[in-house]
Amino acid sequence: MNTSNTLFEKHRATLDAALHALTVRNYYSPYPENPRAYAEDADAMAKNWISACMNNNYTSLDQTEANGWIGEEVSPFLQVGIGVKYPAFTPETLLKNGIVAQAAWSKTSTEQRTGILIEALDRIKSRFFDIAYATMHTTGQSYMMSFQASGPHANDRALEAVVMGYKELTSVPEKAEWIKNLGKFDLKMNKTWKAIPKGISLVIGCSTFPVWNTVPGLFASLITGNATIVKPHPKAILAIAIVVEELQKVMVENGLPKQVVQLGVDTLENPITKVLAENPMVKMVDFTGGSEFGNYIESLPKTTFTEKAGVNSIILDSAKDLKAVLGNIAFSTSLYSGQMCTAPQNIFVSKHGVQTEEGIVAYEDVVKGIAAAITGLVDNPKAGPGTLGAIQAEATFARVQEAKNLGGNLILDSKSIVNEEFKDARIATPVVIELEKNQSDIFNRECFGPVVFVIKTDGLADSLALAEALVKEKGALTCGAYTTDETTKAMIAETMNNAFVPVSFNFTGAGFINSHAAFSDFHLTGGNPAGNASFANSEFVSKRFVWVGNREM
């Protein structure tokens, strides 16, 4: 039975509230981020689910024409394979099924799609705890971060894409009577307009945020009428598999093919990403990951949306409370062991020190203060393990271990701390290295993971120039700045904004530059080398369809 129109009315209040939030850019979320807001037994049930899921085939997904079962995920907390296998499809099967599903999905109305997709997000909400444990044991994120980032925050971004799509798709009327007076008579026409979907969409997931970074493109393509293939990272499948499962269920309930959304899994040894991306039947590609592959994606003759690597900076000029500032920086650099695209890497500090209300704090003391703040956080048995989580990839872990050999002055070496719940967890605390400004060959590239460079500069103007040059050359998603002077603040904002990067000023306490809020903050700008897209501006959805108008005398 087709219930999609009923679903639109069911979720109309959510749609209206989200549309208003997009307009005023204030805080909004229909998905509570506190686990206590959900059923008391939800966590216990999810633990049972993940235990039953491990070392078994994931049979809840579409298996039509599957040619086997594959999976090679490893838990960074347990450092053993989780043993989950997923139905595997050849690229040809995925594309063939996608063409059939595209024909059905593209014929649904904007209202039908909106109702179906918001309903799917409600179903995903009921799986937040399952998704949390799936994220933990594939990415190494802590429990709380896994719950929030892959659950409520990801749903926020997905809903944002749906609502932005609805807004764009309803910005032009379906029909109009057009009249032009020509003196003795009127020229009359009936005009109609259609938003024609571009076609099959491919969304390529990453290993560290398999849900949060996937759902914006996924839901943006779906709301605009495009069947979508989700190609997850081979080491981070389970969490996004749940999302695809719930979407497929809602599609079937509304008389649509499961294959409107497909999960295309592969292995590191036998990847299918390029085969899919280069096929002319795929019209759009969303990608999150390294710059080299991201540049390849952007070179394809089709519509692309990329989030690549960037080098994020903090400019430390002056502060009211330096201790609070350093504590905030310590958390931002340590959160999920720096494995966030928004994590700060380079901290630019004047050789003349930092002005505070108590006077100038010498440069050397600022550097020591950064190291001390990080040490205080990671050595705290209550805060350290939960903040750091675990290192997702062996390559990242090795990079952190070798960072002390990059050059410069080692201020704080990385070490492993014990997570009492997961004794075998792969953990590495941040390494802090002091550099001179002429050592740009070390700090002008992304060192993914918990690696922090403190760069001594000749003053504010020098710090700003170095940060600006990095954005223009390598790109950045975020920039943090600390200053108590309004003129300085305006200068930093103008300089960095003109390089197409947002600035977070004077963040302390619970505000961290790592986090951006859906319905308020854009994620990326699409204007610098860190990526060509922005979650979720109008272009993020409007480039996925084409307006076509017909006229009749």
DSSP 157-223: HHHHHHHHHHHHHTSS-SEEEEEEE-SSSEEEEEEEEEEEE--EEEEE--SS-TTTTTHHHHHHHHH
Alpha-carbon 169 to chain mean position: 24
* Chain mean pLDDT for the chain: 96
CATH number of residue 150's parent domain: 3.40.605.10
Residues 207 and 290 in one domain: yes
Instruction: Give residue-wise pLDDT tens across range 389-430.
Output: 999 999 999 999 999 999 999 999 999 999 999 999 999 999
What residues does 546 pair with on adjacent strands?
196
Q: What backbone phi and psi angles, to 5 degrees, belong to 197?
A: -60, 145
Is residue 519 in some structural domain? no
How far is 348 from 335, CA to CA, in rounded Å?
Answer: 20
Q: Is residue 27 part of a domain?
A: yes
Let me know if residue 418 belongs to a domain: yes
Q: What is the pLDDT of residue 5?
A: 77
- Per DSSP, helices labelled H in 61-109 are 91-105
Q: Verify that 332 and 259 share a domain, yes or no.
A: no
C-alpha span between 274 and 269 (Å, rounded): 13
DSSP class per residue in 249-262? HHHHHTT--GGGEE
d(Cα 414, Cα 451) in Å, to the nearest integer? 9
Q: How does pLDDT run across 64-111, given as a tens digit for each residue?
A: 999 999 999 999 999 999 999 999 999 999 999 999 999 999 999 999
- Beta partners for residue 259, in sequence order: none
Pair 137, 194 in one domain:
yes
Burial of 187 (0-12, 13-18, 19+ CB in 10 A): exposed
Do residues 230 and 112 share a domain? yes
Which pair of tokens denotes residue 526?
A: 């699409």
Q: Which amino acid is at 537?
A: N
Whether residues 123 and 250 share a domain: the answer is yes
DSSP category for residue 365: H
Same domain, 92 and 236: yes
pTM of the model: 0.96
Boundary of a domain, candidates 466, 487, 505: 505
Residues 90 and 107 in one domain: yes
The answer to whether residue 428 is domain-embedded is yes
Q: Residue 10 belongs to what domain range?
A: 4-308+533-552
- CATH number of the domain at 417, please: 3.40.309.10
Q: Both 158 and 227 in a single domain?
A: yes
In total, how many domains does the chain have? 2
Please, are residues 29 and 518 in contact by the beta-carbon 8 Å criterion? yes
Backbone φ and ψ of 314, nearest 5°: -125, 130
In the structure, what pLDDT confidence band is assigned to residue 4 with cuts at 50, 70 and 90? low
Q: Is residue 435 part of a domain?
A: yes
> Pairing relation of β-strands 200-204 and 186-197?
unpaired
User: Quick one: 319 and 303 in the same domain?
Assistant: no
42 and 185 share a domain? yes
Q: Let me know whether 86 and 129 are in one domain.
A: yes
Q: Are 168 and 197 in contact (CB under 8 A)?
A: no
- The answer on 414 and 332 residing in a single domain is yes
What tens digit of pLDDT does each residue of 247-290 get?
Answer: 999 999 999 999 999 999 999 999 999 999 999 999 999 999 99
